[in-house]
Structure 1
Amino acid sequence: MRPESTAPARGEPTTALQIVRRNFTDVAVASVRTFGRTVELAVEALRGGFGDIVARRFPWREMLHQAWYLITVTALPAILMAVPFGVVVSVQVGNLIHQLGADSLIGAAGGLGVIQQGAPIATGLLLGGAGASAIASDLGARTVREEIDALRVMGINPVQRLVIPRVAAMVLVAPLLNVLIIFVGIVAGYFVAIGAQNVTPGSYWATFGAFTVLTDVWISLAKAVLFGFLVVIVACQRGLEARGGPRGVADGVNAAVVLSVASIIVVNLLITQVVTMFFPMRVA
């Protein structure tokens, strides 16, 4: 009786290095393909949204319903996050400035920290945590229940019916949430400065107005809108591609939150570098 051959089949890796290389290549290729599908979904959503507005068939009711839901799940956490953030910025920066003998600059440092970095990042993280998980779980559940396939069978585009209203709602809610965080964070920092750091109200608001210009606010709002768009596109893409029942939905939600947060951090770094180059800090 001929003994069975133990040699590896043709095309299979024979060493640990080849196995690692194949797995790394598969992950890299899959990541590039996923990124391509995400970009394609974003382009389709933008094109379809503008087309629906021009054709006067945009689903305003669904958009407002989704926007209200996002507000209900993010407004209170935004306030709870903005208060300690404004306090931490005021305390940390205030201690450093106090050692330099420039206590009057606490208002400028706290205001710039909240407006330029704190508010848009907090907005993105809140939308990425609460908003992305809700959208990904909703679309993922519809996908595993084959509702998305049923829409396609009936000739209804899932992107036009489900994705576009959620994109519009997220883009609408993001700047509103950003303004709320700016207001609460600055007010919290103000009370800490005048109550615990012996800064006069006049000097606080004078330096705040001298160093914070309207351009900073517009950049903060633009960053919030961009972060919201990234979050909703990633969440929709992961939800529409959920597979494998409830486990697949859970994996899609987890991936949506992680990818949203990671993309926000990376994009914020790039935007900060570009803004610093073209809009350096200046006194109003």
Structure 2
Amino acid sequence: MNQPAATMTAPPGAGPELIGTVELDESTSNGPSRSPWYERLAHHVVTTIRLSLGTVGRSAQLSAEVLRYSVVDLVRLRLPMLEVLTQTWTLLKVTALPALLMAVPLGAEVSVQVGGLMNQVGASSLAGAASGLGVISQGAPMATGLLMSGAAASAVASDLGARTIREEIDAMRVMGIDPVERLVMPRFIAMIFIAPILCIVIIAAGVFAGLTIAVTVNDVVPGSFWQSLGAFATTTDVAFAMLKALAFAALVVLVASLRGLEAKGGPRGVADAVNASVVLSVVCIFITNLVITQLQSMFFPAQIS
């Protein structure tokens, strides 16, 4: 009871070097000291940037490997055509019907908005050009990309993620089989195959839906609709729409494959990989669409054909 609180006697049986009293440090008694908030913030920012750069690097490496395997296997006539056709049919099944269901309301909505504005300014004869260009230039490619990022990307990420957590990917590497060549490359080629098909389906369904709304609601003559569409819409617009669809397809399959191959943590990890692949694909699609649209406006400005 008379011993000071700031001293502590060594336990019985301790060596001579432990005998004595030990001064209690004030910082030790109050717990470990924390660094200032700005140091923690700077550490968090640096860590986030480093991890982001690492992800970009792995994505670039995966893209280079996929392109290399695609070219080499095509030249050597070693493309796994059965796997490519299987993946093409699988991805087409999950995207074809949603593409048609998405195209009809898309074309109808554009036609309703544009038709009302054209009637107000007395230019209803240009409804076909306005609604058709809206569907061809922006609506169809964006709908194709969002459809692939929602349906196709989730299918690819879930498949590869499930294989990863079951250690099938590690087993393939042990057997000397590159999973990029065996699994990712066929899905990449399959996505490149179905992207133009989906874009054409959405363009056709969207334009015909716009024509139906323009004729039945806005009293536009069908001949005037097609004439204005043919006068303003050019093959350049269709070519850039296909280019956007192909770029979106490549981004979607690469992002989904990377997330699936890096999945960990059991079924929860697969769900996180699917969620991340969808979100990242959508962000990449919007950025890529902005860049390609700006390039088209700079080098191929819109004009009457």
The reply to whether TM is greater than 0.5 is: yes
> Per the shorter chain, which TM-score range?
over 0.9
**Are 1:138 and 2:159 matched, yes or no?**
yes
Q: CA deviation at 1:117?
A: 0.5
Q: Partner amino acid for 2:265? A: G
Q: Distance in 1 between matches of 2:81 and 2:247?
A: 21
Distance 1:114 1:227 in 2: 17
Higher helix share: 1
Residues 210-265 of structure 1, C-alpha deviations (whole Å, 9 max, x = no match): 00011111110111011000000000000000111111111111000000000000
Tell me the TM-score normalized by structure 2. 0.90
Matched, 1:226 2:226: no
In the TM superposition, 1:29-44 aligns within 5 A as 29-44=50-65
Alignment of 1:261-272 (within 5 A): 261-272=282-293
Shift of 1:39: 1.1
Match of 2:106 among 67, 71, 85: 85
- How far off is 1:92 after superposition? 0.7
**Secondary structure of residue in 2 paired with 1:89:** helix
Whole-angstrom CA distance in 1 between matches of 2:47 and 2:120: 54
Q: Where does residue 64 of structure 1 map in the other structure? A: 85
Q: Unaligned stretches of 5+ in structure 2?
A: 1-7, 9-22
Partner amino acid for 1:161? R
Q: Which residue of 2 aligns with 1:200?
A: 221
**Corresponding position of 1:102:** 123
Q: Which residue of 247, 250, 255 corresponds with 2:268?
A: 247
RMSD (CA atoms):
1.1
- Residue pair 1:48, 1:160 contacting (<8 A) in 2 also: yes
Residues of 1 paired with 2:58 and 2:161: CA distance? 16
User: Which residue is equivalent to 1:115?
Assistant: 136
Deviations 1:3-42 (A, max 9, x none): 3624747xxx612222222112211211111011011101
Query: What TM-score, normalized by structure 1, do the two folds share?
Result: 0.97
- Distance in 2 (CA, whole Å) between partners of 1:200 and 1:128 is 37
Q: Is residue 286 of structure 2 the alignment partner of residue 260 of structure 1?
A: no
Q: Select 2:209's aligned residue among 164, 167, 188.
A: 188
Q: How many residue pairs get matched?
A: 281
User: Which is higher, the Rg of structure 1 or of structure 2?
Assistant: 2
Q: Distance in 2 between matches of 1:248 and 1:21?
A: 29
Kindly provide the CA deviation profile for residues 171-207 of structure 1, in whole angstroms up to 9, marking residues without a partner as x. 0000100000000000000000000001001100000
Match of 2:40 among 12, 16, 19: 19
CA distance in 2, matches of 1:280, 1:86: 23
- Residue 53 (structure 1) aligned with residue 77 (structure 2): no
Find out whether 1:211 has 2:232 as its counterpart. Answer: yes
1:55-91 deviations in Å (ceiling 9; x for gaps): 1110111011011011110111111110111011111
Off by >4 Å, runs of 4+ in structure 1:
6-9
Q: Determine the structure 1 residue equivalent to 2:49.
A: 28
Partner Cα distance (1:23, 1:252) in 2: 23
AA paired with 2:285?
I
Which runs of 5 or more residues in structure 1 are unaligned? none
For residue 178 of structure 2, what is the aligned residue in structure 1?
Answer: 157
Tell me: higher relative CO, structure 1 or 2? Use CA pairs within 8 A at least 6 residues apart. Answer: 1
SS at match of 2:303: coil
Selected match of 1:166 from 172, 175, 187 = 187
* Contact in 2 for aligned 1:8/1:14 (Cα 8 Å): no
